[in-house]
Each structure stands twice: as C-alpha cells, then as structure tokens.
Amino acid sequence: MEIKWSRNFEKGLKKFHKNFQQKVRDKLKLFLKNKNHPSLRYKKVQALKKEKPPVYEISIDMDIRITLQEFSDHIYLRNIGGHNILP
C-alpha cells in the first residue's frame, strides 16, 4: 500500500530529530505489516468521526501520534504531533 502525506505532516516531521524520524518510519512499516499491533495503539479519532473515510491515529510514543485516513489505494498521513494536533 502506498503512503501519501499532507504538508502538515511533512512540516511536523521535519521538526523532529533524525533519530526520531527513523522511529516514525519504523512505526509506519509496522503499521503496514500489522495495523493492530499493540504498540501502535491504533484507534478511531472520535473528534473527527464524521470525516470520510474516518480519521484514525497511531502512537509513535506516549507523547507523539500520527493521524491518518485509509483509502482503498493509499494511506494518507494527516498530521504528526502531540495531543494538540486534533481540533
């Protein structure tokens, strides 16, 4: 499955150190293999439940997460950051 990202995601990712960016890439690889892996804490974002397709989040660590949407042909990464990335 292809991964696409928004400008918000790209800008947010650049704010992190290179080692953390590698951790993000590793978590995304894990997500593509098994989105229900416990370390990802994959769940629907209730505040954005009316979006189509629904918005989900995965955890990179206990403070940083990624919001995303799953389309039939790709995964769209919306944003990365702390809990303040949601409306």
The string of pLDDT tens digits covering residues 13-71 is: 999 999 999 999 999 999 999 999 999 999 999 988 788 999 999 999 999 999 999 99
Q: Give the pLDDT band (50/70/90) at residue 5.
A: very high
Can you give the CATH number for the domain in which 77 is found?
A: 3.30.2310.20
Tokens 């809990």: give the residue: 83
Termini Cα distance of the chain: 28
Instruction: Tell me the residue range of the domain where 24 lies.
Output: 2-85
* Number of domains comprising the chain: 1
Q: What is the pLDDT, as a whole number, of residue 65? A: 96
* Ramachandran assignment for 13, one of left (phi > 0), alpha (psi -120 to 50 degrees), beta (any other): alpha
| Contact in structure between 27 and 60 (CB atoms under 8 Å) | yes
Q: What is the pLDDT, as a whole number, of residue 87? A: 57
Q: What is the pLDDT, as a whole number, of residue 83? A: 81
Residue 1 has pLDDT above 90, yes or no: no
Provide the β-strand partners of residue 28.
none
- At 47, list the tokens: 């505040």
Distances (CA, A) of 73 to 17, 46, 61: 30, 24, 27
